[in-house]
Chains A and B, each alone.
Chain A
Amino acid sequence: MSWRSEMGRVYAFAKRNLLMAARNVFFVFELAFWPTVGVLSIGLMTRFLDLGPEMTAFLLVGTMALSTVQVCQLDVSYALLFDVWSKSVKHQFLAPVEIRHMALGSWLVGIGRGLTVFGLQALLSWWAFDFDFFEPGVLALGAFLLGCFLTSAVVGLLVCALVLLFGTRAEVSAWATVNLVMVFCGIYYPVSILPEPVSTLAGAFPLTYVLDAFRSHYGFAPEFSHPLLMGFILSALYIGLAHWALAAAVTRCRRTGLLLKLSE
């Protein structure tokens, strides 16, 4: 298969997600309302608790990571959910496309929407709470965002696999899974305060390392050695596993007929 047709298929999914998102008023809430509420409420809490700049940075970094991952992973999940809601799942799988096209196209839109959310929150944090997100430098910021987006891809692919395994009952995982992940990754606290074995489990989540690395630029001693490297290695491993799980779920669906039930 040529690169041109490969990219054409990725583009198709990206364009579809973008068009359908742009025509749904609910997506304005995802993109503007909830991120604004999130950053303002946490920022105001830091004022109420009279926290210093470092602790404010700690909490705002977590808040913005949460929002960015949430929005981006939703787009990856929408790759399948749009079809479930449109009763079009079978058409997708009638076409000569692979999971990589669906996942990559949707993920690219997710990155675009994640960057929009991040930009909005960064602007609000700077304006309302004097927090400079660009202080660690472009490279550190880029690595942080890339880590968030890779985590989003893992969560989104797993949500798609869950929907294909359990049907529409698993739709709720699109919104719930990311919050579960966040408990373990230290969004509002360092993972070292988690009780055993939960703190050990936290070490299995790539976002834990990505947050640890970025917070080190705001004066917090890293809890892990080579956190960025660990974060990226784990992300790559989990993306591979999640892709395999989704492929296996599609194969199972073709065997059991769930692919058709999702289109009824």
Chain B
Amino acid sequence: MKDASPVPAIAMRGLTKRFPARQRDPRAGHAAAAAEVVAVDHLTLDVASGERLGLLGPNGAGKTTTLLMLSTLLAPSDGTALVEGFDVRRDPQAVRRRIGALLAGDRAVYRRLTGRENLLYFADLYGLPRAEAAARAAALLDLVGLGERADDLVSRYSSGMRLRLALARTVLHNPSVLLLDEPTLGLDPDISVRMRAQIAGLRRERGTTILLTTHYMREAEELCDEIAFIKNGEIPARGTADALKRQIRIGDVIALRLDPASGDGLAELPGVLRCVFQDGRVECTVDSAEKRLAQILSWLHEQGVVVRDVDVHEPDLEEVFVELAK
């Protein structure tokens, strides 16, 4: 892992992206007025060198647009974004040399080329010496489990294989900053586990800075040192998963297995914030487990419901996410 550097690997200051949106005037029946959609609104955020930061937020919060601006594919409307000190607007080529980006829905590799040819093509674009490129391509194809299919046309790959090839392409030139937009979206669970292991390995072995967006809380907890919530272009909370759970204090969770599996009326008890029924279990979020556990058990006893199992724990990251997204 790299030593922490005072200069952040990624620095965003007031980063803003506005898209023009044509609005139709129903009376006129033609494009009558132009409005703007603000996808990212004055976002300020730093990612330290070697850090793995997860960017979480509801749909439309601006996570993907932020990554696209950092990758130079989308020009910011306002504000600045620096990657290792290079401005994405003023020095995009220097930024491109330093980043690897795996973007959402990114299964697009050349289907008429083999896996190896795809990697060698991109190695040439990044100026890797021929011998080094061949060796790195072979090593990466093995790493992502495509070594035996390296010389097959990509048109014969499954979508999971194409994504693994895309990941290999993303890290081919040894980028010091990785931008990963929902890297395991739509993958089978076993492939997701392998992908996460490969991403974690990159940081461990090379100290790569990683900025990652995901909808999977488990992935965020597993891969990221810190998590930043983005909402309406602002970061209302940032910290480690544990710190966030403490910071966004939304109570405790009492999980119960009941016989019969019915707890109608539980949510109406004082101090019970909400109850979720799933697979014969009920999970109640309460203001304080210490205060409410006895009250709930007593009420259930009065109702003639047998409690088979009780578990008390802190809310997980998903519940913190729901709370912040409100």
Contact = CB atoms under 8 A, between A and B. Distances in A.
A8 B73 contact: no
B75 A254 contact: yes
A90 interface: yes
Given A19-B117, A95-B125, A86 B111 contact: yes
Nearest to B97: A96
Given A90-B103, A95-B96, A97-B125, A259 B73 contact: yes
A104 B22 CA distance: 37
A102 to B, nearest CB: 10
Interface string A133-164: 00000000000000000000000000000000
A94 B179 CA distance: 12
B113 A19 contact: yes
Contacts of B19: 256-257
Interface string A188-228: 00000000000000000000000000000000000000000
Contacts of B206: none
Interface in A247-264: 251, 254-257, 259-260, 263-264
A5 B73 contact: no
Nearest to A251: B75
Interface string A98-119: 1001000000000000000000
Nearest to A82: B110
B122 interface: yes
Interface residues of A, number: 35
B83 to A, nearest CB: 13
A91 B108 contact: yes
B255 to A, nearest CB: 42
B216 interface: no
A260 B75 CA distance: 12
A264 B125 contact: no
Interface stretch (A9-17, A46-54, A62-70, A170-178): A9-17
A33 to B, nearest CB: 20
Given A90-B103, A94-B101, A257-B19, A9 B127 contact: yes
B127 A5 contact: yes
Contacts, number: 83
Interface string B1-40: 0000000000000000001100000000000000000000
A84 to B, nearest CB: 11
B74 A16 contact: no
Contacts of B103: 90
Contacts of A34: none
A88 interface: yes
Nearest to A97: B125
B156 interface: no
A166 interface: no
Interface in B125-183: 125-127, 153, 169
Interface in B79-122: 93, 96-97, 99, 101, 103, 105, 108-113, 117, 121-122
Interface of A: 1, 5, 8-9, 11-12, 15-16, 19-20, 23-24, 82, 86-88, 90-98, 101, 251, 254-257, 259-260, 263-264
17 contacts: A1-B127, A9-B125, A19-B113, A24-B112, A86-B111, A90-B103, A91-B108, A91-B169, A94-B72, A95-B122, A95-B125, A96-B126, A97-B125, A256-B19, A257-B74, A260-B74, A264-B105
